[in-house]
């Protein structure tokens, strides 16, 4: 059961929300590591310069090494004195000052990587908000140029250059049965104590007039490596190596083997994290913390 004494409001703290965009190429993912540079690490370092103490961020979705974001969301807690002190005596709102000062501090921290991480917006979060547990869904995109598609050198850092031709219709046929509440253990790197049950809300491929294939995928949450594992399997089907039924068969059997290959990370972008109305933030967070059970698969 959720303990109300753990909420920032009960402890007299103010919760700040950050909307973040970043080029994940130079980083070893979002999460803090001992040695490697991470997105969380550089933002927390910049926050420490402003608030003058260590600050720990809670994020909507931990992205892998090399994965980018346009719509990442994180939160942290400060005292009312620290929140007001962000203004530094100026007649500006604390959230406006936080965004400006944090982007400035990131420039100092990043130096040669200046501009790879940007605070798009900063705000005072509504009561009960949790960047991770209040989210309704996360949406990712992924660009693929297959064997028959012109390779644009200017888009190479954000596009998978795939040597074989891909059948988009077969990939969509394979993706459709995976929608809904499922156990995605076959397409995830499990974390100790975490469930692999997720609700996949969208999983489809669309081809632009120039031939570029765009993956659109959305779920209430994603397991570690889940998007790249699903795409890796879909590429095998698009190449004709496997039948369209193969992905669902692996899903219900929970199979992870030598054919469980991750797609490259560099074209993957966290586009958006969506939240309920501010009056439902706390209720959503409590619901998300409840472990979900998966129904029996339809054979």
Domain ranges within the chain, ordered by starting residue: 8-132, 137-271
What confidence tier does 255 reach under pLDDT thresholds 50, 70, 90? confident
Equal fold, 8-132 vs 137-271: yes
% the chain with pLDDT above 70:
94
What confidence tier does 4 reach under pLDDT thresholds 50, 70, 90? low
What confidence tier does 46 reach under pLDDT thresholds 50, 70, 90? very high
Q: What is the pLDDT of residue 191?
A: 78
Residue 8 has pLDDT above 90, yes or no: no
Considering only 43-52, 82-91, 120-129, 175-184, which range has the smallest mean pLDDT? 82-91
Q: Which residue has the tokens 């390779």?
A: 151
Residue 298 has pLDDT above 50, yes or no: no
Average per-residue pLDDT for the chain: 93
Catalytic annotation, residues? 64
Residue 263 has pLDDT above 50, yes or no: yes
What confidence tier does 288 reach under pLDDT thresholds 50, 70, 90? confident
pTM of the model: 0.91
Arch. (CATH architecture) of 8-132? 2-Layer Sandwich (3.30)
Is 275 annotated to bind ligand?
no
Which is higher by pLDDT, 263 or 34? 263
Considering only 31-35, 192-196, 273-277, which range has the smallest mean pLDDT? 192-196
Q: What is the pLDDT of residue 3?
A: 58
Q: Which residue has the tokens 């807690």?
A: 77
Identify any residues that bridge with 206 across adjacent strands, giving them in sequence order.
214
Q: What is the dihedral of CA 261, 34, 61, 8, to 10 degrees?
A: 160
Query: How many CB atoms lie under 10 A from the CB of residue 21?
Result: 17
Burial class of residue 85 in the structure, from the number of CB atoms within 10 Å of its CB (0-12 exposed, 13-18 middle, 19+ buried): middle
Q: 246-253 and 226-239 helices cross at what angle (nearest 10)? A: 140
Q: What is the pLDDT of residue 223?
A: 93
Q: What is the pLDDT of residue 299?
A: 42
**137-271 has which CATH code?**
3.30.70.660
Q: How far apart are CA 121 and CA 19, in angstroms?
A: 5
Residue 194 has pLDDT above 90, yes or no: no
Residue 293 has pLDDT above 70, yes or no: no
SS3 81: helix
Residue 56 has pLDDT above 60, yes or no: yes
Sequence-distant (≥ 6) Cβ neighbours of residue 37 within 8 angstroms: 26, 27, 28
């Amino acid at each position: 059961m959720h303990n109300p004494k753990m909420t920032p409001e009960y402890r007299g703290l103010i919760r700040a929300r950050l909307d973040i965009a970043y080029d994940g190429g130079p980083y070893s993912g979002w999460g803090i590591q001992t040695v490697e540079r991470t997105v969380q690490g550089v933002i927390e370092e910049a926050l420490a310069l402003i608030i003058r103490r260590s600050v720990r961020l809670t994020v909507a979705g931990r992205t892998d090494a090399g994965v980018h974001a346009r719509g990442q969301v994180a939160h942290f807690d400060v005292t009312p004195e620290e929140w007001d002190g962000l203004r530094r005596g100026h007649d500006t709102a604390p959230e406006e000052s936080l965004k400006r000062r944090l982007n400035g501090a990131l420039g100092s921290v990043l130096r040669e990587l200046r501009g790879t991480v940007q605070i798009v917006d900063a705000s005072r979060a509504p009561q009960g908000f949790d960047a991770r547990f209040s989210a309704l869904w996360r949406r990712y995109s992924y660009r693929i140029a297959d064997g028959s598609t012109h390779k644009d050198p200017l888009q190479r850092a954000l596009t998978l250059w795939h040597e074989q031709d891909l059948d988009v219709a077969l990939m969509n046929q394979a993706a459709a049965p995976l929608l809904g509440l499922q156990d995605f253990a076959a397409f995830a790197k499990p974390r100790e104590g975490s469930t692999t049950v997720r609700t996949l809300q969208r999983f489809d491929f669309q081809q632009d007039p120039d031939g570029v294939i765009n993956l659109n995928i959305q779920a209430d949450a994603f397991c570690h490596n889940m998007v790249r594992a699903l795409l890796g399997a879909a590429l095998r089907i698009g190449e004709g190596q496997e039948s369209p039924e193969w992905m669902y068969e692996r899903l219900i059997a929970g199979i992870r083997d030598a054919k469980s290959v991750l797609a490259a990370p560099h074209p993957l972008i966290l586009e958006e994290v969506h939240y309920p109305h501010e009056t439902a933030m706390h209720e959503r967070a409590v619901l998300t913390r409840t472990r979900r059970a998966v129904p029996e698969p339809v054979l």
